[in-house]
Structure formats: C-alpha cells, structure tokens
Amino acid sequence: MNQNPKPAPADAGERKAKTPIVAYSVEQLPVYDEVLYESAKQDMEKVGEVTVAPRDASCFEVPAGHFFRINSVEGPQVGDLNLWNLYDLNERFFSGKTRQLHASHVTIGDRLWSNIPYLRPMATITDDTLAWYGIDDDGGSVHDVIGTRCDPYTNHMLKGVDYHYCCHSNLTRALSKHTGLSLDEVEPHVHDVMNVFMCTGFILDTHQYFMKASPVRPGDYIEFFAEIDLLGGLSACPGGDCGSSHSDDATPCYPLLVEIFKASQKILENWQPAKVNAYSRTHGMN
Ligand SMILES: [Zn+2]
C-alpha cells in the first residue's frame, strides 16, 4: 500500500464512482449441462482411489469422461490441486483465467480451464458439499483460485529457514515420482493451484490475502468431471485447515482421499472430450 499518496484530483469522486462491469459474462461460456452430468453419475462405479498423506502429495490419473472426488476423511484439511493433460505436461490448469471467467472461488458448474494456447475446460465441478458456505461476513469463501501454493522459496525469504513439505515441494516430489522425471525437470510444471476446501478472501480495507479455518469436515467432498484425460496432483497442505499457520510442522494435518469413478458409458455415448482452443495463433502477423 502507498503510505504517502499524492493529493487526489478534484474529480476523484467522479472517477471512483464508475459502475463495475463483470469482465466476462458466464452466459458466453459453454452451458453447464447438469442433466448430462447427473445422468452420467447414476450408475457410476468406483475404479480407483489414492490417499494423500498429510504434508505430502500424490498424483492420480483420471480418463476423460470419468469423475473424481476429493474427500475430507479424518479432520479438516486443505488440498492444493494441480491438473495436467495426461499426455502433455505443458498443458496445465490456469488459475488466473479460471478466476476471471468464473470467480475468485469456484463451485458447482464452474470449469477449471487450461493455459494458453490450449484454453479449454480440463474439469467441471459437478458436486460440492460446501456449496452452502457461500460468501461469509468477512468476504471469505471456499475453493479459491487466487492463492498460489505455499512454497519453500517464499518461506525461506520470510523466515530464513528451509522447509521441505510446502505444497510446491510436495507436488514437485509427487510429479517426479509419478513421471520418473527428475525434480529439476518437473518443478517448472508445478503451477498455481485450486485451493480445495481452503477458506480465503481479501481484507476489505487493505485487500491483503487472508485465510481462515476451513469449514470442511470429514464426509465433505468436491467432485469433478474430467473433460480431457487428466493427471492430477494433490497436496495435503502443511497448513492443515489453514486456520493459523502454514509452511511448518506445527499444525495438525490430515490425509485427503481421492476417488475415481467410471461414469455411465451409455449416457456419454455422444459426449466428446473438450477440444483445444480454435484461435488461429497468427497473432496478426501476415
Ligand atoms: Zn500449502
């Protein structure tokens, strides 16, 4: 914040009183086909699960047209989610554009979009037991796409210590183990996350990023439909419910359970995985 601002111009009030316009209208996005997803879930069968240990991360694969759920199992726990195209790590979740297209916090009907130049839905949120939370009196909400992920570099800068179990490092180790690539090769592919179950917002008068204890409890889950073949990475954040601190070993942490479900093939007979963005990529060059 600027502590010593220059005097405001005479028409400051007028300039600040302009009407906010929602930048991207959701009506322009592909329609959320609730009937399709709900029908496809009717006779889905569980085909796999991965338990993510506290202060660690795991990778999991979800074929296009399958569902996956992230479940709270033993206690309030926040998860940091990364998504990649299963066959190309260069295509990955794009939190910034997802935030602009939907909102700072995502829930049922919202998509998780991939980066440029692919820019297509990677996953659609089809259920969320915390959808009741809405926006609280502090302006906080759950499942944000505004935070990045806790990381050892920021921690080193602010606290002068090396802590190895931040979500960034957890995701880096998990991706290395899953792909067989070295830490150096995979680290650039770890990206800004969806903060599953985390409750965050901005302090009203300073716009500083805040977190508060997650309302998630064992039995809660968020469910996604894979719009393309996915490789997921999920870290059980060392912040636990992120109600007090993060990037240390002081906070109680719990595992997270990822479940993968095969959907009704009959319902999805005519469904197609999302296609990459059709922009010509000529950028005005003749
Ligand atoms: Zn974290």
Report d(CA 165, CA 167) in Å as an integer: 6
pTM for the whole structure = 0.94
Indicate the helix (H) or strand (E) that contains 37.
helix 34-41
For residue 214, the CA-to-ligand 1 centroid distance in Å is 13
For residue 98, the CA-to-ligand 1 centroid distance in Å is 20
CA-CA-CA-CA dihedral for 18, 19, 22, 25, to nearest 10: -120
Report d(CA 134, CA 101) in Å as an integer: 18
Q: What is the pLDDT of residue 60?
A: 98
Place of tokens 């179990």: 165
Report d(CA 222, CA 101) in Å as an integer: 20
Is 83 contained in some domain? yes
Q: What letters, b where the CB count within 10 A reaches 16 and e where it falls short, cover 48-57?
A: eebebebbbb
**Which percentage of the chain shows pLDDT scores above 70?**
98
Is 18 contained in some domain? no
For residue 11, the CA-to-ligand 1 centroid distance in Å is 44
For residue 42, the CA-to-ligand 1 centroid distance in Å is 34
Is 181 contained in some domain? yes
For residue 151, the CA-to-ligand 1 centroid distance in Å is 7
Residue 147: pLDDT band with limits 50, 70, 90: confident
Domain range for 107 is 54-262
Report d(CA 126, CA 136) in Å as an integer: 22
For residue 87, the CA-to-ligand 1 centroid distance in Å is 26
Q: What is the pLDDT of residue 91?
A: 98
- When mean pLDDT is compared across 77-86, 243-252, 263-272, the lowest value belongs to 243-252
Is 46 contained in some domain? no
Q: What is the pLDDT of residue 112?
A: 98
pLDDT in tens, 68-103: 999 999 999 999 999 999 999 999 999 999 999 999
Report d(CA 63, CA 78) in Å as an integer: 24
The amino acid occupying position 59 is C
For residue 66, the CA-to-ligand 1 centroid distance in Å is 27
Distance of CA 93 to the CA centre of its chain: 8
For residue 262, the CA-to-ligand 1 centroid distance in Å is 29
Report d(CA 77, CA 74) in Å as an integer: 8
What is the arithmetic mean of pLDDT over 123-151? 96
Report d(CA 169, CA 176) in Å as an integer: 10
> Which phi and psi angles does 199 have, rounded to 5°?
-110, 115
> Which phi and psi angles does 154 have, rounded to 5°?
-65, -40
pLDDT in tens, 27-74: 778 889 999 999 999 989 999 999 999 999 999 999 999 999 999 999
**What is residue 177's three-state secondary structure?**
helix
Supply the mean pLDDT for the chain.
94
Distance of CA 150 to the CA centre of its chain: 13
Domain count of the chain?
1
Tokens of 16: 């600040």
Indicate the helix (H) or strand (E) that contains 262.
strand 256-262
Q: What is the pLDDT of residue 124?
A: 98
Tokens of 138: 């502090």
For residue 275, the CA-to-ligand 1 centroid distance in Å is 31
Is 282 contained in some domain? no
| Contact between 123 and 112 (Cβ < 8 Å) | yes
Is 80 contained in some domain? yes
E-state strands within 10-120: 45-52, 57-62, 66-72, 79-85, 88-92, 111-113
For residue 246, the CA-to-ligand 1 centroid distance in Å is 7
> Which phi and psi angles does 117 have, rounded to 5°?
-95, 10
Residue 181: pLDDT band with limits 50, 70, 90: very high
Report d(CA 224, CA 106) in Å as an integer: 12
The amino acid occupying position 233 is G
Q: Quick check: 126 pLDDT over 80?
A: yes
Is 36 contained in some domain? no
Is 199 contained in some domain? yes
Q: Quick check: 246 pLDDT over 70?
A: no
Q: Quick check: 11 pLDDT over 70?
A: yes
Residue 248: pLDDT band with limits 50, 70, 90: low
For residue 110, the CA-to-ligand 1 centroid distance in Å is 23
